[in-house]
Amino acid sequence: EAQVTQNPRYLITVTGKKLTVTCSQNMNHEYMSWYRQDPGLGLRQIYYSMNVEVTDKGDVPEGYKVSRKEKRNFPLILESPSPNQTSLYFCASRRTGQGNSQPQHFGDGTRLSIL
Amino acid sequence: DQQVKQNSPSLSVQEGRISILNCDYTNSMFDYFLWYKKYPAEGPTFLISISSIKDKNEDGRFTVFLNKSAKHLSLHIVPSQPGDSAVYFCAARHSGNTPLVFGKGTRLSVIA
């Protein structure tokens, strides 16, 4: 089954304790991205990656890091989490090429609470 | 500066009637538009899209209309069903594999 898998689905942690949210896709997609969803703000992009070893900042990259060492994985790293990073996070992937008409496939989300 | 705007946070429609969700954009470079549907505790799922070379795209009960001169698109659902109750996000991007820009979403409630 084609899917984007995020782990963990839920995490409560404390300020300053480094954490990583993993994202894996089994569709051989080149493009992957991370979003956060906050009430009244919709989905905002944090980082994206066009392919292996190619990453770029989205709209709200501060406080986050990513890496793309393999095509299928795109972890989101919070080196020193703070309470304003409490949010619902989504990973997504899609094909590139074939023009512009490739929709993104989303994971089921990771709810992070930073105390 | 919000490039994709969904000005209605919520919409209630009776079962069997038409639901119309609206979206406005400001960036004239956008040439590909999508609608996503999101249920609680799940990720957004792709619903329907339209390229800027078209003004209408239809898929079953779902139709998307694009008015480029007004920088406006709309999603029509007819007939609406209770299972359509969800948050709907409008999104857009321009060519060159650029990132998607999302609106804030509209919560649709279809009342039986």
Q: Which amino acid is at B93?
A: R
B97: nearest CB among A4, A92, A96: A96
Distance, in Å, from the CA atom of A6 to the CA atom of B106, rounded to the nearest integer, reads 25
pLDDT value of position B19:
98
* Least confident interval from A40-54, A73-87, A90-104: A90-104
Closest-CA residue of chain B to A58: B99
Q: Nearest 5 degrees, angle CA B38-CA B40-CA B41? A: 105
Which residue in chain A has the smallest CA separation from B41? A108
A103/B76: higher pLDDT: B76
* pLDDT of A98 higher than 90: no
Which residues of chain A does B33 touch, with a Cβ-Cβ cutoff of 8 Å?
A: none
The mean pLDDT value for B33-62 works out to: 94
Query: By the CB < 8 Å criterion, does B87 face chain A?
Result: no
Half-sphere exposure of A9 (CA within 13 A, CB side): 7
**Backbone dihedral angles phi then psi of residue A30, each to the nearest 5 degrees:** -80, -40
Q: What is the pLDDT of residues A50-67, one digit of tens each?
A: 999 999 999 899 999 999
Q: Which residues contact B92 (CB under 8 A, 6 or more apart)?
A: B3, B4, B25, B27, B30, B32, B33, B34, B100, B101
Quick: pLDDT tens for A3-12.
999 999 999 9
Instruction: Give pLDDT tens digits for B67-87.
Output: 999 999 999 999 999 999 999
Residue B35 is predicted with a pLDDT of 97
So what's the pLDDT on residue A14? 95
**pLDDT by residue (tens digit) across A38-54?**
988 889 999 999 999 99
Q: What is the pLDDT of residue B97?
A: 65
Task: Give all strands of the β-sheet with B72-77 in edge-to-edge order.
Answer: B4-5, B19-25, B72-77, B62-67, B56-59
H-helix or E-strand spanning residue B83: none
Q: Does B43 touch chain A (CB under 8 A)?
A: yes
